[in-house]
Amino acid sequence: AALRGEWMRLQVSAALKEGHVTPTELCQRCLSLIKSTKFLNAYITVAEESALKQAEESEERYRRGQPLGVLDGIPIAVKDNFNTAGIETTCASNMLKGYISPYNATVVQKLLDQGAVLLGKTNLDEFAMGSGSTDGVFGPVRSPWSYSRQYKEKSVPKSHSEDEDSNWVITGGSSGGSAAAVSSFTCFAALGSDTGGSTRNPAAHCGVVGLKPTYGLISRHGLIPLVNSMDVPGILTRCVDDAAVVLGSLAGHDPKDSTTIQDNFKPFQLPNLTDVSKLSIGIPKEYHAPGLSSEILALWSKAADLFKNAGAKVIEVSLPHTRYSIVCYHVLCTAEVASNMARFDGLEYGHRSDINKSTESMYAATRREGFNDVVRGRILSGNYFLLKQNYENYFVKAQKVRRLIANDFAKVFGSGVDILLTPTTLSDAAPYTEFIKEDNRTRSAQDDILTQAANMAGLPAINVPTALSERGLPVGLQFIGRSFQEKQLLTVAKWFEKQVKFPMIQLEEVKRHDHGVFQHQKSASFS
C-alpha cells in the first residue's frame, strides 16, 4: 500500500508538537535503526552523543511550547563531504581520515539552527567521484531494496549454492549513503551533493525524492568542492513536500559564498495542484539515449500520457547539443578537480606521508597514499586538459559547448515549455558484482548521461520515484525546471507523486531486527 501522500503530511511534526513522541524518543529510535541496518554501510560516522544532546535541547523547546519550526527535533543525516564542527569529515578518503573541521558548512548550520538533530555522516564515493557509492575507502553502500520483500520475491538465485548475500544491488552515487539512510527510515531527510547527478541518481535507485536546486540558490560554503561551477547541495527525502520544507530552510544568500543569489528567499508551502491544463510539459527527444532500458522508456511514455490525459500540453522538444554534453562535462569536471585537489598536499591538514626526503617527495607520496586511482586519474586528465598547448582545444572549447547546452534549455523554456520530463537513470540498480565489472570512468559516463546537463546549465531538477521494475527495484523519472522556479517544479513533482502512488519499501531485515522502531518510522514524511 502506498503510505506516502497527503493524509500523512504533518504526521511526525504534529506528533512532536502534541507530545505523542518526544525528540529524544525519535532520535533513539533512529539510532537503534542505524545499528540494526549497519549491514547497509550507509553511515561512516554516527554522532550518537551529540545527536542525543540536540534532541534533549529540542525537547526542552517543545516543553516550553517554543519549537524553532517544522524541522525542530527531526533526525537528519549529512553526506560526509560537508564540513561538520566536532564530527569527522572524511570524504570517504584516506586523505581526510581523522580530519575534524573547525566549522560547520552553511547548510549544516542552517539545519541545526532550525533544531534538526544530526545523526551522523553518510557514505559516498571517494571525494564524491563516482556513480555507485562503491569507491569510498569505507566500502560500498548496499541498497535497502536488496533486502526488501519486493526484490526478494522477484530475484531467484542462479544456483542453490549462490550466497543470498551476493545478490545485493548498489545505491547509485555518489550520495548513496544519504539515499540509503532516507530509504531505510534511519532519518527523515538527508543532504547529498550534486555535481553531475550525485543526488538524483541514488534517489532514483533507492526510491526516494532527490532534489538538485538551481545553482546559487543554496550555499556551497563548507561543501568540500569537486567542481565549483556545478556543485550544488542536494536534498533527499521520502516525499516532495519534505523536500520543499528542507529547501525553505536552506535557500538564500550567504555572505560566505559569493555565487549565492542576492535576493531574499521566501520559503513556500506547495499548493495542491488540481488543474494541469495550463502546464506545458516538454519531452526532450535526445534523452532517448543509447542504453535506455525498454522498461524505463515505457514508464516515461506512460508518465507523458498521464499529463496529457489530465489536460496538460505535452510536446516533443529538441536539445540538440545534449549528445556532446557528457564529453564536455568530463573535460570541465576533471579540469576543476585538478585545481581543487591541489589543496591536499600534506602540509595544512589531512594525511601526511612519512616519506620526507624532500618537500616534493613528501607531496608526491602523500597524494599517492591519500587518493585512490579514480581521484588520481581525474587529476591527471584535468591537468592534461589544462596544459598550455591543450587549454584552447579542450578547456576553452568545452566552455563554449557548455554555453550552447545552456542556450538549448533557455530556448526550450523561452518557447513556452514549463517543465521537462526525462528519465533519471538508464535502468534500475545493478547488482554490485555486475557494477564493478566496469571501471569508474565508464560507469560515470553512462550513469551521468541523463542528469549532468542540468548541472552544466545550473537548472533545478528533481527525481520522483515512479514505479518498481520487473526485478522489484525502484525506477524514477526526472523533472527539470526553469532557473529559480523551484516552486513550480516541486508543485508539478508533487502532483505527479500523488498520481503514481509509489509503493512503500517492505524491509524484511529491519522488521526482524527491530519491529517496534520500524512501525514508528513508517510515516513517509515529517512536514
Could you list the active site residues?
Answer: 79, 174, 198
The three three-digit cell numbers of residue 394, written as one number: 579542450
SS3 497: helix
Cα–Cα distance, 204 to 171 (Å, whole number):
9
For residues 397 and 415, give the distance between their C-alpha atoms in angstroms, rounded to a whole number: 27
DSSP string, 206-218: HTSEEEEPPTTTB
Q: Which helix (H) or strand (E) holds 381?
A: helix 373-386
Q: At 307, is the secondary structure helix, strand, or coil?
A: helix
In degrees, to the nearest 5, what angle opens at C-alpha 400 toward C-alphas 455 and 375? 50
Using DSSP, state whether 353 is helix, strand or coil. coil
Handedness of CA 346, 377, 448, 335 (dihedral sign): positive
Spacing of C-alpha 468 from chain mean position: 19
Neighbour-count burial of 295, counting CB atoms closer than 10 A to its CB (0-12 exposed, 13-18 middle, 19+ buried)? middle
DSSP 80: T
Contact 114, 247 (CB under 8 A): no
Q: Residues with Cβ < 8 Å from 310, sequence gap 6 or more?
A: 276, 277, 499
To which H or E segment does residue 487 belong?
helix 486-500
Judge contact between 175 and 236, C-beta under 8 A. Answer: yes
Closest CA to 177 of 149, 156, 211, 205: 205
Phi, psi dihedral angles at 335 (to 5 degrees)? -65, -45
Angstrom distance (rounded) from CA 15 to CA 361: 59
Separation CA 428–CA 297 (nearest Å): 12
With CA atoms as reference, report the closest residue to 473 among 522, 431, 519, 424. Answer: 431
| Pick from 26, 28, 118: nearest CA to 80 | 118
Amino acid symbol at 233:
P
Q: CA–CA separation, 153 vs 275, rounded Å?
A: 38
Other Cβ atoms closer than 10 A to 179: 37
C-alpha cell at 194: 550534486
